[in-house]
Chains A and B, each alone.
Chain A
Amino acid sequence: MNNLSIFTTYIFLIIATGTCLLAIAAGAVGCITVLKGESLIGDAIGHASFPGVVLAFIIFLQRDPIILSLGALVCGILAYIVIQVVAKNSKLHFDAILAVVLSSFFGLGMVLKSYIQGNPMYVRVSQAGLQHYIFGQASYMLESEVKLIFFIALISISLIIIFFKEIKVFIFDETHSRLIGLNSKIIHFVILITTMSIIAIGLKVVGIILISSLLIVPAITAIQWSNKFSIVMIISGVMGGFSAVVGTYISTAYERMSTGPSIILVMTLISFVSLIIAPHGIVNQMRFKKNHKEKN
């Protein structure tokens, strides 16, 4: 296939639109979690949503991505609540709680998955799709899924724009946000719902394990370029979308390159380059140090 003609094929357009929209929304929302210092929560929630996917399949006996994503969403929220309750009531470090919840939920997912594999009741319903949730399978994306992603991305981005000021205060000075009378519970809830729904719809595209990097990596790249929250968010979204398109192109143009990992690879490379050459990056830091020394 000619390398340029790929851009106009139907499959490429569908997948690229889907992953691009997802990555833009994830990039924007990811800024919040990264700046709040909770970047690994995304990883934990991603793993913990797995039993929700399988349970939704067991209950409804179908592979409709909307239903499975809803299952993931519910399970992700449950995991989040467990994490918060345990964190409030024990002396354990937050890291350890994340690891425990992540692995226990994922273990439960494995149990449920092996249960339907060995059970004759579910033989008639194809369960081939469930495997995709672990590693992600963007190349089978359907138009309906792209619509779902578009819908969720639109809602999350508009929520962020509506509550932009409140979210900003909440992230950088939670005490102050409470003092000036903001209802931090509502903002927390908004952030939680947007993050969770993006994780839930992203699971099938990039998989449980890699979903967290869609949230973390663009945000970290963006932080190297600007000091302003709104600009960081925009850069992060654009960077996410760009990497998604490039990654999808690579996976379509070359045989046997999975889409999710290709996107992550592109993203991380951009991120490393930014860490070196961006205004806050290593090169500038060294130059600053050198200038400082010469002056003294």
Chain B
Amino acid sequence: MLLNMYELFLSSYWSLLILIVTSIACAIIGTFLVLRNLSMVSDAISHTILLGIVLAFFITRDISSPLLIIGAGLFGVITIFFTEVLSSTGLVKSDDSVGIVFPLFFSIAVLLITKYARNTHLDIDIILTGEVILAPLNTFDIFGYELPKAFVQMSIIIILNLIFVAVYYKELKITTFDKEFSIIAGFSPILLFYSLMTLASVTAVVAFDAVGAILVISFLITPPASSYLITKNLNKTIIVAVIYSIFNSIVGYMLAIMYNVSISGMTATVAGITFLLTVVFNKNGIITSCILRYKRRKKMFEDLLIVHIGNHLKDKEIDSELGTNSIYLHLNWKEEDFLKVARKLEVKKDIFVENNRYKLTENGLKRYEELYKTYIM
């Protein structure tokens, strides 16, 4: 089995390389999409580029033409433009305008394919779900080396994305986090927004070859979303997102080969799992917040008891208020809950029992005074 896998790996390592390159390119640009709350917009783009691909295909009649990339990329931008225009009328919310525009474009694309392109090379299934294992078969020569086309294209996209981020880093940062200030400072957030979206849709178009139109969204959004949960600095968010995406690709690829299933699907699944793990285990995640809630609850009960004893120390009805047999009735707690709290405080030497009454020790008095100052005064 292991040997078999090794052989499979040797024969298909280009697929893995293409997958990794694709995921890196997507993670870089995706970080900004996540930070600007454009995740579902990019989902819309990843669907509408299908219409661009179909239209460009009708013009060029060649699935591998670079015109296809430009045409489809343009369509992503047109989608954005339409949704922006629609929501700027104030008649619909921006979410809703995304929800109107992308099904329209997608429906047109499906109709065009089923009506006119049935017997052509344009397979709607491959476009949507992609097959990275087939990607290396399509090669071309560069300086005498035979390289898979998808790999070369994706590497160019990485370089483009990196250059864009490096050159406009400051501007991207400001427009992402403080739009008003960026206008005052003299940047055009709209221009930057459209360049970002152009790059995103070109990345998505090139990636569709390898991973399919629907799963592009996983490569774009999931790693940056995980990374955003554990980082606080834009630089680090990008770097950690890239690390996440490389990890997801490698694990997804290995699992997919082992069980002979869809590679891009498996990578998306693994990405989802690493995301969930991050949500559960990160510093502010579900587990830590549960523990914190439990600790706070315990402390609150202790504080309540101390305040109760402190308040009633000079009371007339001290016997019933602080008596060992009746105190829990006044607190309105169950007896066993009360005993748990009381025992803990006795161990801490905050309270003690004298003449069948609870009293505060010196420690307890100090704690009572502090509580009194913070809560009651």
Do residues B114 and A106 form an inter-chain contact, with CB atoms below 8 A?
no
Q: How far is the CA of A89 from the CA of B276 in the complex (A)?
A: 11
Q: Which residues of B contact A113 (CB under 8 A)?
A: 262, 265
Q: Which residues of A lie under 8 Å from residue B114 when comparing CB positions? A: 256-258
B103 in complex: contacting residue of A135, A210, A224, CB < 8 Å: A210
- In Å, the complex CA distance between A294 and B319 comes to 82
A108 to B259, CA, bound (A): 13
Are A106 and B268 CB-contacts (below 8 A) given A93-B37, A256-B115, A282-B89? yes
On whether A110 and B262 interact (CB within 8 A), knowing A40-B98, A99-B39, A100-B221, the answer reads yes
Residue among A96, A106, A135, A223 having the largest count of chain B Cβ atoms under 10 Å? A96
B99, A265: Cβ atoms closer than 8 Å: no
**Cβ–Cβ contact B271 & A111, under 8 A:** no
**Interface contact A90-B103, CB-CB below 8 Å:** no
The segment from A4-12, A61-69, A140-148, A212-220 found at the interface with B is: A212-220
Say yes or no: is B305 at the interface (Cβ < 8 Å to chain A).
Answer: no
Q: Which of A89, A257, A282 contacts B286 (CB 8 A)?
A: A89
Decide: A110 near B215, CB < 8 A? Known: A212-B103, A268-B103, A282-B89.
Answer: yes
Given contacts A104-B269, A224-B91, A264-B104, contact A115 B259 (CB under 8 A): yes
B283-294 vs A: 1/0 string, CB under 8 Å? 011100100000
B40→A265 contact, CB < 8 A: no
- Give B125-156 as 1s and 0s: 1 = Cβ < 8 Å from A's Cβ atoms: 10011000000000000000000000000000
- B39, B107, B222: which contacts A104 (Cβ < 8 A)? B222
Report B52 CB to chain A, min CB distance, Å: 16
Shortest Cβ gap from B41 to chain A (Å): 8
Q: Are A96 and B265 in contact (CB under 8 A)?
A: no
Name the interface residues of A39-65: CB closer than 8 Å to any CB of B: 39-40, 42-43, 47
Q: Mark A229-241, 1 if CB is under 8 A from B, else 0.
A: 0000000000000
Residue A280 CB within 8 A of the other chain = yes
Instruction: Let me know if A34 is at the binding interface, CB within 8 A.
Output: yes
Is A152 an interface residue, CB under 8 A from the partner?
no
Residue of chain A at shortest CB distance from B110: A261
Q: A95-B37, A98-B39 are in contact. Are A40 and B95 (CB under 8 A)?
A: yes
B175 within 8 A of partner (CB): no
Q: Report the bound CA distance from A278 to B163 in whole Å.
A: 47
Q: Contact between A95 and B39 (Cβ–Cβ < 8 Å)?
A: yes
Q: Which residues of A contact B264 (CB under 8 A)?
A: 107, 110
From A97, A100, A107, residue with most partner B Cβ within 10 Å: A107
The residues of B that contact A138 with a CB separation of less than 8 Å are none
Q: Which residues of A contact B108 (CB under 8 A)?
A: 261, 265
A121 beta carbon closer than 8 Å to chain B: no
* Complex interface: chain A residues within 8 A of B279 (CB): 86, 89-90
In the bound complex, CA of A34 to CA of B294 (Å): 37
Interface 1/0 per residue, A72-105 and B, CB below 8 Å: 0000000000100110011111011111111111
Bound-state Cα–Cα, A105 to B218, Å: 10
Q: Which listed residue (B89, B107, B267) contacts A107, Cβ 8 A? A: B267
The total of chain A residues at the interface (CB under 8 A) is 64
A106 to B216, CA, bound (A): 11
Given contacts A100-B222, A265-B111, contact A107 B96 (CB under 8 A): no
> Is A209 interfacial (CB-CB < 8 Å)?
yes
Least CB distance, A119 to chain B, in whole angstroms: 8
Q: Interface range on chain B: under 10, 10 to 19, 20 to 34, or 35 or more?
A: 35 or more
Shortest A185–chain B CB gap in Å is: 21
Does any Cβ of B come within 8 Å of A194's Cβ? Answer: no
CB of B209 closer than 8 Å to a CB of A: no
A69 to chain B, nearest CB (A): 21
Residues of chain B within 8 A (CB-CB) of A112 are 261
Whether A109 is near chain B, meaning CB under 8 Å from some CB there, is yes
Contact B47 A209 (CB under 8 A): yes
Within 8 A of A (CB), among B178-226: 214-215, 217-218, 220-222, 225
Q: Is the CB of B40 within 8 A of A40?
A: yes
Q: Could you tell me the distance in whole angstroms from the C-beta of B218 to the nearest C-beta in chain A?
A: 3
The answer for the CA separation of A114 and B91 in the assembled complex, in Å, is: 43
Say whether, besides A114-B265, A282-B91, A90 and B214 are in contact (CB < 8 Å): no
Contact in complex: B225, A111 (CB < 8 Å) = no
* Interface members, chain B 208-256 (any A CB < 8 Å): 214-215, 217-218, 220-222, 225, 228-229, 256
The docked-state distance in angstroms from the alpha carbon of A93 to that of B221 is: 12
| With contact pairs A100-B275, A110-B215, A275-B91 given, residues A268 and B104 touching in the complex (Cβ less than 8 Å) | yes
| Distance A280 CA – B91 CA, assembled complex (angstroms) | 8
> Measured between C-beta atoms, what is the minimum distance from A260 to chain B in Å?
7
- Asked whether B42 lies within 8 Å of A260 as measured between CB atoms, the reply is no
Contact B42 A99 (CB under 8 A): yes
User: Which A residues, 124 to 161, have Cβ-Cβ distances below 8 Å to chain B?
Assistant: 131, 134-135
- Check B217–A90 contact: CB distance below 8 A: no
Q: With A and B bound together, what is the CA distance between A205 and B2 in angstroms?
A: 44
The reply on B323 being an interface residue by CB < 8 A is no
Within 8 A of B (CB), among A167-206: none
The 5 closest A-B pairs by CB, nearest first: A104-B272, A107-B268, A110-B265, A103-B218, A213-B103
A contact residues vs B (CB 8 Å cutoff): 34, 37, 39-40, 42-43, 47, 82, 85-86, 89-93, 95-115, 118, 131, 134-135, 209-210, 212-213, 216-217, 220, 223-224, 256-258, 260-262, 264-265, 268, 271, 275, 280-282, 285
Other A-B pairs beyond A93-B37, A265-B107, 6, CB < 8 Å = A39-B93, A107-B269, A111-B265, A131-B125, A209-B47, A216-B99
8 of the cross-chain contacts (CB-CB < 8 Å) are: A89-B286, A96-B34, A101-B272, A104-B222, A106-B265, A107-B266, A265-B111, A280-B91
